[in-house]
Structure 1
Amino acid sequence: MDKVFQKFLRSGIDLSPVGVERREDNNPYFCTPKGASIFGWAGVDGIHFCFVRDFGGMVFSVSPMNSAPDFVHPLANDFEDFLRLLLACSDSAALEQAWMWDKAQFEAFLQDNPPTQDQQRTLSELAEKMKLTPMEQPWVYIKKLQASFDYSKIKYTEDYYDVDMNPEAEPTMPEWKVYFEGNFWGHSGKDHAGTEIRLNKQFDWARHHWVIPAAYSCSKGLVMDFCMRTPEEDIRKFITKWDLHPENDSCEYFTQEQQMQIDLDNPLCLDFIPRLELNGKTMLTSHGCSVVFNPCLPDGVINEAEAKWALEHYDLDTSYGWMIFRATFPWTSKRRPEIKALSLTMEQQSCRVPGPHFKAHAPGDSFSFLHPVSGKKYTLTVQELEQQTISEKRYGSDRWFYPTHFTAMSYTLSPEPDSDVTICDCAEGDKPLEIAPCSDRYAPEARNDIACIGIIGGADGPIAIVCGDSSKEKLHAVCSSLHFEPVEGDIEWRIVFNIKSSNEMSLGLI
């Protein structure tokens, strides 16, 4: 035991006025280091002071109300220095909080909290009986100690890693198992986990580097993980461009057109369709799921544990961002085949690219625009344009009052595009109004505007109606967003292009 600490115990000095009170019940917290010997308590928020086995006489503060990983900090190399720091600062509060302050904040705290009369008496007694002087430059002393300390050497009890005791604890990675009827978060059914087939294939496609670390042979089919890598600087540029932060990370803060552009710009998002060729037979994916690891998340926001576990299992570089897509491919035969040859084809799904806007006042109006990829010129000619309504009976709801007014437009495109040009309303529709309380607390809430579904086209866009034979122009139709009242003036429409920016790519896996 530290000789100065022994002398202090014999002195009978009560340090409770300066924030170090002694107790008989020194019960530890979840974040108290393993091997800790608690000698004092601050009397607030469970803050306590202790020695820790294997660290000599070093004095630590433990603050359970802090956020991980800032529960424990060294305060002094030995107990004598700890007492000298108290003499210099008058209260343990300054020592315990010094880790998060700069020098100006530390000194401002001391100036704003001068010692009380009780504290002055305690400090005088401490200096006299222990023959000690105040620490010179206490902030410099504490900062130097904490900057040189290796926090990884502190060991904790099992409570620290228990998410029930410590909600900020990292969950323990479970045994890695992959199921056909499952995802990154669990599985359903009674099927057994698949047998891992290590592939370790790497390639570049669609402006990304890809890793296919493994496939899993299951009773119902093959499961494969596709890992798309993104440089950290690309993610930061994307976040900066759209000024993304936790307070505006929701589609409600952006227009539909902005949302389309965000989807295009997002370096951690790419929609693709994988196909496998197994022993000469094509296998199509039936379902899939994905997790994302983002190394650029702001303080207070963490990646989901399943993404971290995937990176750990596949030994992926955590300095990059990763989108990990898990796809399942049912067997083409009743029995699980022997895998003799396996190849992969990657096809990018079309992306919705916002184009120019236009207004139409009457049939016969036309609007010309260029395709952003081919440069081909198209001319849209309005054939019919009229305001219409949907019967309220079609909704069949006593709880909600829905908008019923919309504008329908039919048009032709010349030359006829290859189904990669669509039209939509630029305006948001009106949201339904609740007119009666809901008796079912589990019923979904209506939060978004609704599309003109079941009239012409659907929620995802218009459809084409073909009149005459294939040599004639196709007549397309589109409906505006729904409103409670007829829209005054002309509707502003948006051209939307459905574009693939990357060609198909194939490679052998086995």
Structure 2
Amino acid sequence: MRHEHRRWKVCFGKNFWGTQEENDPGEELRVDREFEWHGYKWRIPAVYRCRQGLVVDFAMEVPQEELRAYMEKWGLTEDGECNRTLTRAEEQQMEQENPLNVGFCAELELNGMRLHSRDGCGAGYLPGEMAGDDTVAAFRRHYGLDETTVWKFWRESYPWATRSRKSCSKRFRVLEVRLEAELEQHPAGRFRTPAVGGSVTLHEPGNAQTYQLTALDVRSETLELPDCDGWERPNCFCMMTYRLTPAAENFFLSDCAEGDHPHRRPRNLPPERAALEKKYGLEPQGEGDAAIAVIGGADGPTAVFCTVRGSADEAEGVAAACSSCYFEPVEPEHITWQAAFCRRPCAGAVVPLLAAP
């Protein structure tokens, strides 16, 4: 079956699938840069100079055997569905191990000026699976990439450093991309909330360093939440202030349990309507269908995210963590915490793209 290929056009701030109509296409500057980083082979085939800034296309090659082993380990079908129930920790581990989910941050340096990404998107290409997706296949075709290889594509848009005409340089003396891998979490053990003054010992994975976590304050808290959308949300949680010795950057605590799910508040309905809803399982409609945007979603648990570092006058390593939210007051000793250290899986890299002769 022949596909009607659209004219290749790349516009600033647009993803692979969005319409490019009424947008000025960028000027393509082929760089065809190949390099190895983060354990994979990468390509930056082209940069596009647009009126608003620069657009950079990235392509990462994923070995098919690595993707196949990943899918077999987690019981994933060809369409990406998992055939078994996973715990919260397993879901996080599965996402972190996904070879098509490499996280990174890329900055550009143009003539000594730093450009930061404002918009970006990504898409995967599987041989034989994406034949009908002309948008993703067009990326591979335009750059002449192997159609039998698994690819992950990214497109990042970088606005000019300032509105001054000087930052919109027409002459690129030096253009390079600076890559930095995103932090990855490494579990460091679970423990029940200790009593105030109590301590637990933690070990950072892959590191001989031993840490001591001491509870400085443990208490149950209740949030005052607005009631304007017909939903009742859990608002009780445990807050623990602690000291980590020695102090460590990128250390996190989270509740091992998901917490309670929001639910609709009961309404006073006419008897006949209440009977129909009960008999046929009808979903009530109206203002209550609005999305929840305070601290949780209608189809998921509510969580409180809190990281409180100690002030300059306090001891180094003092922080606070909050549990998930529940409808009933939380007894701190019933909360099980997951400790994790975050670190970057590899060193950063600087890749030259263009240089004046």
TM category, shorter = 0.7 to 0.9
Code of the residue aligned with 1:450 in structure 2: it is T
Give 1:379 deviation, angstroms: 0.8
Could you give the per-residue CA deviations for residues 19-40 of structure 1, whole angstroms, max 9, x where no partner exists? xxxxxxxxxxxxxxxxxxxxxx
For 2:228 and 2:325, how far apart are their aligned partners in 1?
Answer: 17
Match of 1:433 in 2: 263
Higher relative contact order (CA 8 A, sep 6+): 2
Match of 1:372 in 2: 205
For 1:377 and 1:287, how far apart are their aligned partners in 2?
Answer: 40
Could you give the per-residue CA deviations for residues 337-384 of structure 1, whole angstroms, max 9, x where no partner exists? 122221121111112233311112411221111222443211101111
Could you give the per-residue CA deviations for residues 314-357 of structure 1, whole angstroms, max 9, x where no partner exists? 11112221111101111224333122221121111112233311
Q: Is the 8 A contact 1:210 1:226 kept in 2?
A: yes
Could you give the per-residue CA deviations for residues 461-506 of structure 1, whole angstroms, max 9, x where no partner exists? x312314536x23421111111112345521100122110110111
Code of the residue aligned with 1:271 in structure 2: it is G
For 1:296 and 1:481, how far apart are their aligned partners in 2?
Answer: 43
Alignment gaps of 5+ in structure 2: 268-283, 292-296
- The match for 1:447 among 299, 302, 317 is 299
Q: Is the 8 A contact 1:268 1:321 kept in 2?
A: no
- The match for 2:147 among 294, 298, 318 is 318
Could you give the per-residue CA deviations for residues 412-467 of structure 1, whole angstroms, max 9, x where no partner exists? 1000102x111000001111011253325973371111112xxxxx2xxx312314
- The match for 2:242 among 411, 414, 434 is 411
- The match for 1:339 among 172, 189, 192 is 172
Indicate the SS of the match to 1:493: strand
Q: Is the 8 A contact 2:131 2:137 kept in 1?
A: no
Between Structure 1 and Structure 2, which shows a larger proportion of strand residues? 2
For 1:246 and 1:293, how far apart are their aligned partners in 2?
Answer: 13
Equivalent residues in 2 for 1:264-343, closer than 5 Å? 264-295=96-127, 304-333=133-162, 334-335=164-165, 336-337=168-169, 338-343=171-176
Code of the residue aligned with 2:259 in structure 1: it is G
Code of the residue aligned with 1:426 in structure 2: it is C
For 1:251 and 1:386, how far apart are their aligned partners in 2?
Answer: 40
For 1:365 and 1:296, how far apart are their aligned partners in 2?
Answer: 57
Match of 1:357 in 2: 190
Indicate the SS of the match to 2:211: strand
Could you give the per-residue CA deviations for residues 150-204 of structure 1, whole angstroms, max 9, x where no partner exists? xxxxxxxxxxx6xxxxxxxx75331110000311012468431001111110000
Match of 1:194 in 2: 26
For 2:255 and 2:288, how far apart are their aligned partners in 1?
Answer: 34
Match of 2:227 in 1: 396
What is the TM-score normalised by the length of structure 1?
0.60
Alignment gaps of 5+ in structure 1: 1-160, 162-169, 453-457
Give 1:249 deviation, angstroms: 2.5
Match of 2:251 in 1: 421
What is the TM-score normalised by the length of structure 2?
0.84
Q: Is the 8 A contact 2:221 2:238 kept in 1?
A: yes
Code of the residue aligned with 1:216 in structure 2: it is Y
For 2:353 and 2:216, how far apart are their aligned partners in 1?
Answer: 52
Cα RMSD between the aligned structures?
A: 2.5
Aligned identity (percent) is 31
Code of the residue aligned with 1:385 in structure 2: it is V
